[in-house]
């Protein structure tokens, strides 16, 4: 665990407006007047000497679907983990729906957030992991009931009904009472999506959700995400290696390298006419691989 850092200094004082740092390309800014659901302001994260996020500025509008691509070690997963409060950031502020995520205002200054604040903020965010991280000792439906019952205070019946609806939505109404070990990888990942949705988040994070799956099982998971994007008012942020899916699904694609956004824009623009040489190199390498 990294020792707690005093972040109050980074949270106050003048800072440049988001999106004006030298490397950020304004093409990716959210539409004027759109409500920003997530905002990274000069966010820095280090692991020892390694800078994983380098004064990152990133804004995501409500209901926007953003795909993050980039080479491994570029910091793309850290964006999601910082947003889910799984990583402590070393500098900057993250806002969710207008409120600072890991800070709170006290006497006009931003101070590190206390438990209740973190809990309230986390409640707006759901996350799906590469390795599913289902609870192996609980059935599919129990996986989806645990948090609604213990965190939201739903009754067993309410939680079960909600879980059953969501599992039906991801096409698993016949697997309610199966344990994770009795399900295929694709089915497990769909349970994980249902489990996250059961908390009714505003923002959903998908961290390389198909990377641990056999190729023929990716489709069923991506289909669920596709339907989710179409049917729900959800802000979605996904780290992915599936360029085809990113191109088709995302409103905006961000290319990360060395903890910064090198280039971002609508998928058509970024994939067909990348402005940066680095992006071109990466896309070429990925295309050759596949």
Partner 1 sequence: MNGAVWDWAYAIEILPILGAASIMTVQATLGGFVLALILGLAFAIGRMTGPRWLRRANTAVVEFIRSTPLLIQIFFLYYVMPEVGVQLDALPTGILALGLHYGAYCSEVYRAGLENVPKGQWEASIALNLSPWTTFRDIILPQAIPPVVPALGNYLVALFKETPLLSAIAVTELMQMAKILGSESFRYTEPITLVGVFFLVFSLLSAALIRRVERQLQRRSGINRSQAQP
| Interface of this chain with partner 1, residues 131 to 150, rule: CB under 8 A | 131, 133-139, 146-147, 150
- Please identify, using beta-carbon distances, which residue of 53 and 196 lies nearer to partner 1: 196
Contact, 158 vs 145, CB < 8 A? no
Stretch in the footprint of partner 1 (CB under 8 A) among 26-34, 51-59, 99-107, 181-189: 181-189
d(CA 228, CA 234): 8
Instruction: Count the neighbouring beta carbons within 10 Å of the beta carbon of residue 282.
Output: 22
How many residues bind partner 1 (CB under 8 A)? The answer is: 33
Nearest to 37 by CA among 58, 18, 57, 59: 59
Residue 176 lies near partner 1 (rule: CB under 8 A) = no
Tell me the C-alpha to C-alpha distance, in Å, between residue 80 and each of 66, 83, 103, 126, 165: 12, 5, 17, 10, 27
Partners of 43 in the β-ladder: 56
d(CA 266, CA 276): 14
Reading the block at residue 133, the tokens are 């991280």
Pairing of strands 125-128, 203-207: parallel
The site map against partner 1 for 76-115 (x = CB under 8 A) is --------xxx-----------------------------
Residue 123 lies near partner 1 (rule: CB under 8 A) = yes
- Please identify, using beta-carbon distances, which residue of 61 and 140 lies nearer to partner 1: 140
Pairing of strands 36-47, 91-96: antiparallel
Residue 212 lies near partner 1 (rule: CB under 8 A) = no
Measured CA angle at 94 (ends 88, 96), to 5 deg: 120
Stretch in the footprint of partner 1 (CB under 8 A) among 21-29, 34-42, 44-52, 174-182: 174-182
- Please identify, using beta-carbon distances, which residue of 117 and 252 lies nearer to partner 1: 117
d(CA 245, CA 85): 27
Stretch in the footprint of partner 1 (CB under 8 A) among 122-130, 240-248, 254-262, 268-276: 122-130
Residue 234 lies near partner 1 (rule: CB under 8 A) = no
Contact, 140 vs 170, CB < 8 A? no
Residue 119 lies near partner 1 (rule: CB under 8 A) = yes
- Please identify, using beta-carbon distances, which residue of 55 and 124 lies nearer to partner 1: 124
- Please identify, using beta-carbon distances, which residue of 39 and 195 lies nearer to partner 1: 195
- Please identify, using beta-carbon distances, which residue of 15 and 178 lies nearer to partner 1: 178
Least distance (Å) from partner 1 to the CB of residue 35? 23
Nearest to 176 by CA among 155, 166, 186: 166
* Contacting residues toward partner 1, per CB under 8 A: 84-86, 119, 122-123, 125-127, 129, 131, 133-139, 146-147, 150-151, 178-184, 195-196, 199, 214
């Amino acid at each position: 665990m990294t020792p707690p850092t005093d972040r109050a200094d980074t949270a106050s004082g003048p800072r440049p407006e988001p999106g004006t740092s030298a490397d950020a390309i304004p093409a990716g800014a959210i539409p004027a007047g759109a409500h920003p659901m997530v905002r990274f302001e000069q966010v820095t994260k280090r692991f020892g000497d390694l800078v994983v996020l380098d004064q990152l500025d990133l804004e995501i509008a409500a209901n926007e679907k953003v795909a993050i691509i980039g080479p491994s070690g570029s910091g793309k997963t850290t964006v999601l983990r910082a947003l889910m409060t799984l990583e402590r950031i070393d500098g900057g502020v993250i806002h969710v729906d207008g409120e600072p995520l890991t800070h709170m205002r006290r006497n006009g200054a931003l101070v590190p957030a206390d438990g209740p604040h973190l809990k309230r903020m986390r409640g707006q965010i759901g996350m799906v992991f590469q390795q599913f991280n289902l609870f192996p000792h609980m059935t599919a439906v129990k996986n989806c009931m645990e948090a609604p019952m213990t965190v939201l205070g739903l009754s067993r019946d309410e939680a079960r009904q909600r879980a059953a609806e969501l599992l039906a939505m991801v096409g698993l109404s016949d697997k309610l009472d199966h344990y994770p070990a009795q399900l295929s990888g694709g089915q497990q990942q769909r349970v994980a999506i249902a489990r996250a949705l059961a908390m009714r988040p505003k923002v959903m994070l998908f961290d390389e959700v198909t990377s641990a799956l056999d190729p023929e099982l990716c489709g069923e998971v991506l289909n669920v995400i596709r339907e989710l994007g179409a049917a729900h008012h959800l802000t979605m942020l996904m780290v992915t290696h599936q360029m085809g899916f990113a191109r088709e699904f995302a409103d905006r694609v961000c290319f990360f390298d060395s903890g910064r956004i090198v280039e971002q824009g609508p998928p058509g623009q970024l994939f067909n006419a990348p402005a940066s040489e680095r992006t071109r190199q990466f896309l070429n390498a990925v295309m050759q691989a596949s």
